[in-house]
């Protein structure tokens, strides 16, 4: 991590020593601007993903097949809102505000996970999101528990603990369909066909193509590479699919005895780019809905603020 040119700033040297020592960087520490920018981008993207991710699931609350499935789904979505809050608060330790982050999202300057631009068309999709999308997210988040920015790391630890039920409920819902009628099984298979590749894309571009990966790895903001995490996801998910008799839609998928891992086919990177660029099936709808929800809730915040002013005035009187 030593830079041979430029006289070394002692603050930079101290920062790099902490990173090298596997210490966490805490909010009041000096940090290079590029580090601050990088960790902020990552946390803002993560926070927005938690919040936007409520939309495809919210789509099925009123149509859940039973009261039981409905309360489970509500509990899960409630968790996601909380996770967004943890992450926005952690990001605010870097001197930005939630308002600024939300504004950046609305103006298209901030991103969220591309997976949430796919529609949830059937009930099976809700199970599939828990199993695959949360499954992939957990692989990533477990690794991020050791990220070098303290508040981010602590948020990840809390989130992983709460999220353990999300994947299990999803798999259990998919398993129920896969063991049901022919129609239910077909619905589960169709859902897997649609969600598999977008889930694989959640880990981002290949390491060689990833814009931020190299620097993030050096700073230990990321602890494992995109490709390594993706491989772990494949290795854990294939046996789960086999167990309930669903087929992963990848003709190149097969166990490689030599590597001790599954080999798998290439992701359609053109689709990935298109969805990131705003041209996925639901990009506009997701953003418009978020903006509308923000506007529709304004009167509540106004009313609470007016009440607080009134209360203070009464106290002063």
Contact positions toward other proteins, by CB under 8 A? 18, 23-24, 26, 28, 68, 71-72, 75, 79, 135, 150, 153-154, 164-165, 167-169, 171-172, 175, 239-240, 243
Q: Are 152 and 25 in contact (CB under 8 A)?
A: no
As measured in angstroms, the least distance from the Cβ of 164 to other proteins is 4
Question: At closest approach, how far in Å is the CB of 128 from other proteins?
Answer: 14
Residue 114 CB neighbours (<10 A): 22
Q: Alpha helix (H) ranges present in the chain? A: 10-20, 33-52, 54-58, 67-92, 98-106, 123-128, 134-144, 150-178, 182-201, 213-218, 226-243, 269-274, 283-296, 298-316
Burial of 59: CB neighbours in 10 Å, binned 0-12, 13-18, 19+: middle
Nearer to other proteins, 18 or 185 (CB): 18
Instruction: Decide whether 137 or 175 has the Cβ nearer to other proteins.
Output: 175
CB of 125 to other proteins, least distance (A): 18
Pick between residue 102 and residue 177 the one whose CB is nearest to other proteins: 177
Q: What is the DSSP string of 198-216?
A: HHHHTT-S-TTT-TTHHHH
Pick the closer one to other proteins by CB: 98 or 168: 168
- The least distance separating other proteins from the CB of residue 136, rounded to whole angstroms, comes to 13
| Minimum separation from the CB atom of position 238 to other proteins (A) | 11
**Cα 203-206-210 angle, rounded to 5 deg:** 90
Instruction: Closer to other proteins by CB, 155 or 282: give it.
Output: 155
């Amino acid at each position: 991590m030593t830079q041979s040119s430029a006289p070394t700033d002692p603050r930079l040297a101290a920062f790099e020593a902490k990173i090298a020592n596997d210490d966490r960087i805490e909010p009041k520490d000096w940090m290079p601007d590029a580090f601050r920018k990088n960790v902020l981008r990552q946390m803002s993207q993560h926070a927005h993903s938690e919040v936007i991710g409520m939309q495809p699931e919210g789509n099925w609350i009123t149509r859940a097949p039973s009261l039981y499935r409905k309360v489970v789904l509500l509990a899960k979505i409630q968790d996601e809102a909380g996770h967004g809050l943890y992450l926005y608060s952690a990001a605010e330790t870097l001197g930005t505000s939630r308002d600024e982050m939300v504004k950046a999202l609305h103006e298209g300057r901030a991103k969220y996970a591309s997976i949430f631009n796919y529609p949830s068309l059937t009930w099976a999709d809700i199970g599939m999101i828990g199993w695959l999308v949360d499954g992939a997210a957990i692989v990533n988040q477990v690794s991020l528990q050791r990220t070098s920015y303290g508040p981010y790391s602590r948020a990840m630890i809390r989130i992983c603990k709460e999220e353990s039920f999300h994947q299990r409920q999803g798999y259990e819902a998919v398993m129920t369909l896969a063991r049901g009628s022919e129609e239910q099984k077909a619905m589960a298979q169709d859902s897997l066909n649609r969600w598999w590749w977008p889930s694989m894309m959640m880990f981002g571009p290949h390491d060689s193509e990833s814009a931020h990966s190299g620097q993030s790895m050096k700073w230990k903001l990321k602890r494992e590479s995109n490709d390594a995490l993706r491989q772990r996801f494949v290795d854990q998910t294939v046996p789960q699919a086999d167990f309930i008799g669903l087929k992963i839609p990848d003709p190149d998928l097969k166990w490689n005895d030599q590597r001790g891992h599954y080999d798998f086919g290439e992701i359609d990177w053109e689709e990935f780019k298109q969805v990131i660029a705003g041209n996925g099936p639901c990009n506009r709808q997701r953003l418009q809905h978020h903006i509308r929800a923000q506007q529709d809730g304004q009167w509540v915040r106004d009313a609470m603020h007016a009440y607080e002013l009134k209360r203070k005035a009464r106290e002063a009187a």
